[in-house]
Amino acid sequence: MTHPDLTLLRTPPKAPTTLRWTGTALDLLDQTRLPQEVTYRRCEDGEAVREAIVTLQVRGAPAIGLAAAWGLALAMGEKDDLEPNAWRSALEAAADRLRSARPTAVNLAWALAQQLKAIDGAGLSGAPGRALLTETAARLQSEDERVCATLGAYGASVIPDGARILTHCNAGALAVAAWGTATAPMYHMQAEGRPFKVFADETRPVLQGARLTAFELAQAGIDVTLITDSMAAHLMSRGEIDLVIVGTDRVTANGDVVNKIGTLSVAIAAKHFSIPFWVACPLSTYDPATAEGSDVPIEERAPEEVTHLGGQRIAAQAPVRNPAFDVTPAALVTGGIITEAGIARPPVGAALAELTAS
Amino acid sequence: MTHPDLTLLRTPPKAPTTLRWTGTALDLLDQTRLPQEVTYRRCEDGEAVREAIVTLQVRGAPAIGLAAAWGLALAMGEKDDLEPNAWRSALEAAADRLRSARPTAVNLAWALAQQLKAIDGAGLSGAPGRALLTETAARLQSEDERVCATLGAYGASVIPDGARILTHCNAGALAVAAWGTATAPMYHMQAEGRPFKVFADETRPVLQGARLTAFELAQAGIDVTLITDSMAAHLMSRGEIDLVIVGTDRVTANGDVVNKIGTLSVAIAAKHFSIPFWVACPLSTYDPATAEGSDVPIEERAPEEVTHLGGQRIAAQAPVRNPAFDVTPAALVTGGIITEAGIARPPVGAALAELTAS
């Protein structure tokens, strides 16, 4: 596979930036206020970053990891004068504190481990140690940007001009440093000046599509139309959707795709109407150690996500099921899986194994 | 086809009654306050009934028609002393006034026409005319009950014990005088003491499933679990749903089913997982004059239904599509269409033509 042209992606996307390092502080786009308000929370120490993670002001696994990496640099701000051993202990404690913000987010632990590895590799402490933490955070952020930008270029290469694209949930710029995963091909096509249109599923119960995807695409000047999840099949039946592209939380060895609840429903409808179904994700999401989707436990979340909205009850008193994810079998991924190493075409499980082996 | 046993249906369903005639007034369950409050609005004249229809305190085409039929009797309450011609003119004016409450609801006009036909057939006016209006309203209401009860008995005959039933929107007791259409087989099975379980799709954007179906089934003591629309396919993939049953707004000559947006999505998923998909409706819903579903215009409703809930904005500023209905092709109605004359098995278009010809 030839490497895609990334020239266009030197321009940042027009969507609001999720994380912004000022040189002395981290500005985080407060996602709890979206879409009503675009406000940034300025974090000047590690505790502020931790609180932003706990309160979901920053969400999306990659964005949480990057926030924590910057947070660790901030947490060491007043500690330049400590002896090397004391500095290293303080670093460990600060990392533990940040890690506890959302213990299940893999990228959070991963980003902090990268920081500790860099420090231990260089054997630094004090002010030079802190400078390295800042450097490493910046490197992780630009790696995330590069991976997403590459996904975008590969993705754009398989989307026809004028395509009407359906997406589900938010695998967007707001979940990462820039570009997003499922949205990266859209930003790439926009930069190329190519025409296309997006339909965003609202994504009940948490409304990531209505609140975040519709928001970031509209802000970026992309032609986006919001629909409820139940309207996707109807639009497909009327010939109004040409392809589907979504992100994913995990791809298993056989190519099954674990993603936000509702993805399976869209994939089945796409198959019914012979509409290509694509997935875009970094290779870090590929989990060859898990055989298939049915091996992945599906988290059931609080019933209030379904029965309440904005503090108001919107449903009758009745038992509720609230699975947060579903499994789209590899056979329904009829387009392919777009990664930074190229595109895995069906059968996607075998193709992913080949891409990562090379 | 043998006639079903309706003995059980002499007991009214345990769900709250939609319309209740007191002898001198009409009590309407105020559906705008559901599910938070179960309150009845007492209507003592025609204007009160009209206002209840306009403000959606009563909804569901059959229920609106019945409310108007009772409303016409109430509207003539102070007019017993009028001369026959003046009485007939006043009746016409009162019917016009009620008809204007929701000009597009077919059952509203139909029920008022039944009233005028009864009066003109009997040549009555004054107090005897008014008594006939009350009698006719009562007759229309018991016909509606009988039709739904019969649907229920036929439907229950094809549902296995222990079935886990998925339904979409509210084709329930709250839309009619009693029993509902899609819910009638559930109430019948409950009366028979047979075990079953219901999953109710919340039915975005207007949440008829969350607010009304979950409410009426829970009130009736039926085992109902609320899910978002996007969860239906996931539950099917896990073997947790045995059959689907929905109502319909119109069935075209070829057997296509026009129903609440989201029905098509459920039907496609049911087909994918080989789960029977059933429709329950009175024969008055069958429209042999329209060839197929694509001939039926799909109403696009206000974007605020998608972007707002309880007066609060829940979505980003972006264009919205809001089709209120979709078309499920006859081929996806794999169970059949349950009517008061019996069950139309696939191919359902031909079977309906046969049922109505006999």
Q: So what's the pLDDT on residue B110?
A: 87
Residues of A in contact with B225 (CB under 8 A): 318-321
Say which range, B12-16, B29-33, B143-147, B242-246, has the weakest mean pLDDT. Answer: B12-16
Residue B80 has pLDDT above 80, yes or no: yes
Strands, E, within B57-113: which ranges?
none
| B224–chain A Cβ distance below 8 A for any pair | yes
Q: So what's the pLDDT on residue B306?
A: 97
Question: A118 to each of A19, A114, A269, how far by Cα in Å?
Answer: 22, 6, 47
Q: So what's the pLDDT on residue B299?
A: 85
Strands, E, within B114-233: which ranges?
163-167, 196-201, 224-227
Residue-wise pLDDT for A150-173, tens only, equals 999 999 999 999 999 999 999 998
Nearest Cα to Cα of residue A69 among A141, A123, A18:
A141
Q: So what's the pLDDT on residue A11?
A: 65
Residue-wise pLDDT for A59-94, tens only, equals 887 899 999 999 999 999 999 999 999 999 999 999
Cα(B230)–Cα(B269) distance, rounded to whole angstroms? 11
Nearest CA in chain B to A320: B226
Cα(A177)–Cα(A143) distance, rounded to whole angstroms? 9
* pLDDT grade for A103, boundaries at 50, 70 and 90: low
Considering only the beta carbons, identify the residue of A306, A314, A319 that sits closest to B309.
Answer: A314
Cα(B125)–Cα(B133) distance, rounded to whole angstroms? 10
Cα(B200)–Cα(B188) distance, rounded to whole angstroms? 18
Strands, E, within chain B: which ranges?
19-21, 26-29, 40-43, 163-167, 196-201, 224-227, 243-246, 250-252, 257-260, 277-280, 286-287, 308-309, 312-313, 325-328, 336-339, 342-344
Nearest Cα to Cα of residue B202 among B15, B18, B35:
B35
Residues of B in contact with A202 (CB under 8 A): 204, 306, 315
Nearest CA in chain A to B215: A316
Residue-wise pLDDT for A270-305, tens only, equals 999 999 999 999 988 898 999 999 998 888 889 999
Domains recognised in chain A with CATH numbers: 19-145 (1.20.120.420), 149-357 (3.40.50.10470)
Residue ranges of B 270-289 with Cβ closer than 8 A to chain A: 271-272
* pLDDT grade for A3, boundaries at 50, 70 and 90: low
* pLDDT grade for B3, boundaries at 50, 70 and 90: low
User: Which two structure tokens, joined as six digits, stand for B240?
Assistant: 């947790």
Q: So what's the pLDDT on residue B177?
A: 82
| A188–chain B Cβ distance below 8 A for any pair | no
Residues of B in contact with A318 (CB under 8 A): 200, 214-215, 217-218, 224-226
State the average pLDDT over residues A251-259: 95
Catalytic: B229? no
CB A66 within 8 A of CB A177: yes
Residue-wise pLDDT for B122-132, tens only, equals 999 999 999 99
Q: Return the DSSP state at B213.
A: I
| A79–chain B Cβ distance below 8 A for any pair | no
Nearest CA in chain B to A321: B227
Over its C-alpha atoms, chain A yields an Rg (Å, rounded) of: 21
Considering only the beta carbons, identify the residue of B225, B235, B320 that sits closest to A226.
Answer: B320
Contacts by A50-59, CB closer than 8 A, 24 or more apart: A50/A97, A50/A98, A50/A101, A52/A28, A53/A98, A53/A101, A53/A102, A53/A108, A54/A101, A54/A102, A56/A31, A56/A32, A57/A28, A57/A30, A57/A31, A57/A32, A58/A18, A58/A19, A58/A28, A58/A29, A58/A31, A59/A31, A59/A174, A59/A175
Nearest Cα to Cα of residue A152 among A21, A353, A11:
A11
Q: So what's the pLDDT on residue B11?
A: 65
